[in-house]
Amino acid sequence: MSLTSSSSLADAISQYNDNILWEGDTTKAQNALAAIRFILVNRPIRISEESQSMDYESLKDQAKEIETYLNISNSTIEKTSFTRGRMLL
């Protein structure tokens, strides 16, 4: 699901929950990051539902984690490095 300006907080939370296990999957990481950004921009500092609560700081920390993962993942895809060496006898 792609979040748009007409998406609701419930849509963003659903997308976040659907992609909570993003590690190792760049698509899920991107979806989770989009949901976190939506929540951070469109909600107050603390969100509470029946048995869940999220706070601004923990979401910011998780966004940084995902951004780091995506940057590492994008920079290491299909890259190989070789070093030429000589052996002296």
**Residue carrying structure tokens 């849509």:** 11
What sections of the chain are H helices per DSSP? 9-18, 26-42, 56-76
User: In which region does residue 24 sit, left (phi positive, over 0), alpha (psi from -120 to 50) or beta (all else)?
Assistant: left
pLDDT tens digits for range 40-49: 888 765 666 6
Residues linked to residue 53 through DSSP beta bridges, in sequence order: 48
The pLDDT score that the predictor gives to residue 71 is 85
* Count of all residues that appear for the chain in the document: 89
> Rounded CA gap, 30 and 84, in Å?
37
pLDDT tens digits for range 51-85: 666 677 888 888 899 989 888 766 655 555 555 55
Whether the predicted pLDDT of 18 surpasses 90: yes
**How would residue 21 be classed by pLDDT, with cut points 50, 70 and 90?**
very high
The pLDDT score that the predictor gives to residue 82 is 55
